[in-house]
Amino acid sequence: MNLSTASRTYQLLTRIFDVRNATEPFLPSGAEKKPLPLREPQQPFPRATPEAQGISSDHIRRFLEELGRGGDRFMQDVLILRHGQVLCGASYDSQVLTAPKHTFSACKSVTALAIGLLIDDGILHLEDKVADLFEDLATAAVRRRFKNMSVEDLLTMRSGVLFSEPEALTETDWIKAFLNSSLKGEPGAEFHYNSLNTYMLSAIVCRKTGKGLLPFLEERLFGPMGITDVLWEKCPMGIEKGGWGLYIRPEDIAKLGQLVMDNGMWQGTRLISQEFIQAATTAHATPPPELGDFNYGYQIWVGRKTNAFLFNGMLGQNVLGFRDSGILLVTNAGADTDYQESRYFEIVDRYFGGQFPDSLPEDPQATERLQETVAALSSYNHPSLPLDAQAEPFLHHSFEVDDPKAASVGLLPVALQALHNNYTAGLTSIAVSVRGELPELIYREKNATYRLPVGLGRPQITQLDINGDVYQVAASGRFTHDEEERPVFYIKLAFLETPSIRIIKLILTPEGLLLRQTETPGVPYVFKKLRRAADTALYKPLLLLALGGTEEDYLRYKTLQLISPEISLRPISQNNCQ
């Protein structure tokens, strides 16, 4: 990190953690999260009973139940396939399988497929030098420093470049920043996970094809495979981020996993060469063991002990293929993990890491039990509950902010604000009205008003436009009391295309309304990130300046202030909820 980047990173951290002022974006904000429809995929996989593919329905039922019991895994959805047929699809709580999901780093593997297509076409080679591919931007110093850095070094996370995601949040020209970055060792020597390597692969696709990564993939893979309603976020210069930012339905990314499973074949047609797929799923680098039990191929993780490949994104976005058995699992989650540290991988290996017969006798009773379990996991199968007397203290009342900390409080989870450069202007008031037979949360910020009907028992989905970024949000809630017998309206907002959930608690007090907000992934995850950064020579000075300290208790306090604020509001007047 150079001095100018360090200064900008310090300024951004200072703004984000200043809870008494709205965060001023460091880079110009611009909406890029367009509306994505909730609908079934085109060209869906054929369906089969688990027994028809040699797996017991009870086996899958127990697997789903065990995943759901892990409170730290925050499972959202699971799709299980064998030999290209869907055996089971399940969504947990308020989630839906029809939502295109933010895949985080799992999309690195998709970017690698685009590189494979260029190699198949003969217009790119693994040994091509990065400095040559960006010859017009490479100074003499860059050419000397990058003289040995190849496309294969980018693919295997061995470029050694230090410019990474946190610094990218304050930079406009990522290619220039990458080329002018310092190196950690000699290119090709050491595994160093960095999403900007993948971004540079996306930039290479743009240069070699004259079109963006997404249009190129739509033409060569997505179109033939019936993959639609895809969004890929772009850098400030208009290039797809490559290493993150892809929204895609679980069943559609399963198609890409199946393409890898079948060595580049899709429904009898070759879309990418077997040679590239085999090279991409062969270990070329050895990550440190604390990241998990996988080595690294070409932007695809490769099992150390099993013949498996993995598309892996932070917080629990995974496409895991067991090549010997032909079993493919797609999952989305909101867990507090970056790589493969979650117990999810131990559970999956225990259930699906072995061998299975080609088929089993059909078992209608076991199939019915599995269907009942899948139905019970989804809150959309729960009955809607009526408004009752516990709702009365909240209905048709408005409350305005009486707390300076509200300047940094907004409806959008803080993680999504930072990720999308879309910061709140600050909370001004809250009201609860009635729409139809449902309570309606009216959440006002300085520059917008958001109205969400809240399902009681069964979630209600609303499309929210937050400063031009459009999200599908499932709202569910209940009226209850706390330990002091104060009336409480508990609301959970699931941002369906993301791992993020916003929890809102409205607590009536004699003085007015107490608002408590939190989110998942939240305090544990952010605190872990800050604690790790505070232990490094690179980031500790920045945290010391931006936050005012790096002691563990202080970092936890600052995290709680930001992620789990508590705000006081005073009553305005009754029947003023428009």
User: Rounded distance, CA 108 to CA 118, Å?
Assistant: 16
User: Rounded distance, CA 423 to CA 414, Å?
Assistant: 8
- Domain range list for the chain: 3-30+384-574, 51-352
DSSP 512-577: EEEEEEEEES-HHHHHHHHHHHHTSTTTHHHHHHHHS---HHHHHHHHHHHHS-EEEEEEEEET--
Check residue 494 and give its pLDDT.
98
Check residue 555 and give its pLDDT.
86
Low-confidence ranges of the chain (pLDDT < 70): 1-6, 573-578
Cis (ω within 30 of 0) for the bond into 35? no
Q: Between the CA of residue 538 and those of 10, 14, 196, 554, what are the distances in Å?
A: 12, 17, 18, 19
Q: Given 3.40.710.10, 3.90.550.10, 2.40.50.140, 3.40.50.460, which CATH number is that of 51-352?
A: 3.40.710.10
Check residue 322 and give its pLDDT.
98
pLDDT digits (tens, 9 = 90+) for 407-431: 999 999 999 999 899 999 999 999 9
CA angle 294, 354, 104 (to 5 degrees): 35
User: Rounded distance, CA 247 to CA 268, Å?
Assistant: 27
Check residue 164 and give its pLDDT.
86
- SS3 call for 118: helix
- SS3 call for 98: coil
